[in-house]
A = this chain, B = another copy of it.
């Protein structure tokens, strides 16, 4: 379709690419596993092949990229935490050389998800939105006054490092008590194991669960759904932490809506009910009580849609240096 853009979504577990038409519809999406332990060249070759397969001979109007942080922005030299093969890798430059003559833009992957939910997902029609991803990490992006907020270095939206428990667990960032330290899947699973959680026992009581089942956030959500008491407590712990962080964000930014995606959001009411309980206990001023928390709508395509929005809806989602 004329005017389509190439969207790329770079994560620690998979690379995704697709053409996205001007309406935000994803076409010809392809995914490959991120080469484990790949060096810079291997990673690039993998991406290059993926992109070639998606684009073929189609001319593209631009390239939008979402990638795990940190990165320099808007230059786009990336150092994704969980991809040691790329350190200050000039990802945006490489793709710009590969697609000369069109705009090539990059943003944090969670920021892209937020832009997508605002443009085409659960945040449509709101001018003041926080888009969250609660998964292996906890990330987000912020839309205020109808526009994506970048902050001084493109890092606005880091809801995962809002402090929810000042003396809480150590965080990967070097701080303590960040939302991410409490609510990220692996952190939550580790906490549950400490409390005596046996992964898989509740979800498969007659099965050969012992030692065979990994203690992951996903398993924790399954076990909570199956009624495991510790897993349920873990979901309450996560929900409460997310609710507290949203309360702080709602006061600071006067939000209309918060969208929540990512693996842990699959737990549904097991996460959202304690979330709402904590949130409502802490937002009492009329303006803050307006905030609605809703599940994200776009699923695994969100990162691609948001990357495309950097090109296709640049008036709202692209304003570096403003």
Q: Which of B157, B178, B282, B287 contacts A70 (CB 8 A)?
A: B287
Q: Which of B281, B287, B319 contacts A155 (CB 8 A)?
A: B287
> In the complex, which residues of chain B have a beta carbon less than 8 angstroms from the beta carbon of A159?
251-252
Q: Which of B70, B150, B152, B253 contacts A252 (CB 8 A)?
A: B253
Q: Which of B146, B152, B163 contacts A244 (CB 8 A)?
A: B163
Residues of chain A from 144 to 176 with CB closer than 8 A to chain B in the complex: 144-147, 149-166, 171, 173-176
> In the complex, which residues of chain B have a beta carbon less than 8 angstroms from the beta carbon of A161?
247-248, 251, 285, 288
Q: Which residue of B lies closest to A160 (CB)?
A: B251
The answer to whether A154 touches B254 (Cβ under 8 A) is yes
Q: Which of B177, B249, B254 contacts A152 (CB 8 A)?
A: B254
Q: Which of B152, B162, B255 contacts A256 (CB 8 A)?
A: B152
A174 to B281, CA, bound (A): 8
How many copies of the chain does the oligomer comprise? 2
Residues of chain A from 164 to 212 with CB closer than 8 A to chain B in the complex: 164-166, 171, 173-178
A48 to B146, CA, bound (A): 37
The answer to whether B163 touches A166 (Cβ under 8 A) is no
The answer to whether B252 touches A162 (Cβ under 8 A) is yes
Chain B nearest Cβ from A151, distance in angstroms:
2
A113 to B251, CA, bound (A): 18
The answer to whether A158 touches B244 (Cβ under 8 A) is no
Whether a CB of chain B sits under 8 angstroms from the CB of A41 is no
Residues of chain A from 281 to 322 with CB closer than 8 A to chain B in the complex: 281-288, 290, 319, 322
Give the B-binding residues of A (Cβ under 8 A).
70, 126-128, 142, 144-147, 149-166, 171, 173-178, 244-245, 247-249, 251-256, 278, 281-288, 290, 319, 322
Closest 6 CB pairs of A and B: A151-B254, A174-B284, A161-B251, A155-B287, A156-B254, A162-B248
- 5 pairs, CB–CB < 8 Å, chain A vs chain B: A128-B151, A156-B252, A158-B287, A161-B251, A178-B251
